[in-house]
Amino acid sequence: MKIHRAIPVAVLSVAGLVPLWQYEAHTASTTEVAAEAGVVPEAQTSSEAPSATAPDGSGYGTGTPPATTTTKPPATAAAKTVNGKLVKTVHGDVQVQVTFTGNKITAVKLLKQPNTGPTKSAVPTLIEETLQAGTADVDSVSGATQTSEAYVQSLQSAIDARGN
């Protein structure tokens, strides 16, 4: 169950690597490897067992702040390291090694990297969170292109009607 949740995250991380080399081949190559956490799951839902999901407060990659405010007692879980599949790209082979602590990815390391391509930014750090729903006092609302018909029912129309 724990791993089942975490594996899609690892897949995303790997999937994220490949197009970057493929699509940004014009960017200058660098040998720097992003070894910090590529994807840090943050999903702490109240419905899940705390021992399975609680953040342990350590192991986050540099510059990766915890994203949710949920705090639960620390749980200790043994770290487990799993190697990803070798992925072939036009610039060379890519293979990542992912360290799980509990169901959380705490590190992503490139075992194999292409010789070309923008490796510097190849592993953009992403934080995983649970989807929230709520209301708040806002100045404006971003959403997919609102048609004029839908607009009259939208949040933005209420904001415009409210005035300053």
Partner 1 sequence: MLAGVRRVEHIMGFPISVDLRDGDERSHDAVEGAFAWLREVDARFSPFREDSEVARLSRAELEPADLSDELAHVIDLCDFYEESTGGAFTSWLPGRGFDPCAIVKGWAVQGAAEMLHDAGARRFCVNAGGDVVTFGESEPGVPWRVGVRHPERADQLCVVLELRDGAAATSASYERGDHIIDGRTGEPARGLLSITVVAKDLTTADAAATAAYAMGVEGIAWAAAQPGCEVFAVDSQRRVFRTPGLPVAA
Residues binding partner 1 (CB under 8 A): 8, 12-13, 15-20, 22-24, 39, 43, 63-65, 67, 118, 121-122, 124-148, 150-151, 153-157, 160, 163-164
What does the chain come to in residues?
164
Q: How far apart are CA 153 and CA 106, in angstroms?
A: 43
Q: Which is nearer to partner 1, 76 or 147 (by Cβ)? A: 147
State in Å, rounded, how far the first CA of the chain is from the last one: 50
Q: How far is the CB of 96 from partner 1 (least distance, A)?
A: 12
Q: How far is the CB of 74 from partner 1 (least distance, A)?
A: 22
Q: How far apart are CA 40 and CA 49, in angstroms?
A: 19
| Chain CA centroid to CA 155, Å | 28
Q: How far is the CB of 135 from partner 1 (least distance, A)?
A: 6
Q: Which is nearer to partner 1, 76 or 137 (by Cβ)? A: 137
Q: How far apart are CA 96 and CA 30, in angstroms?
A: 17
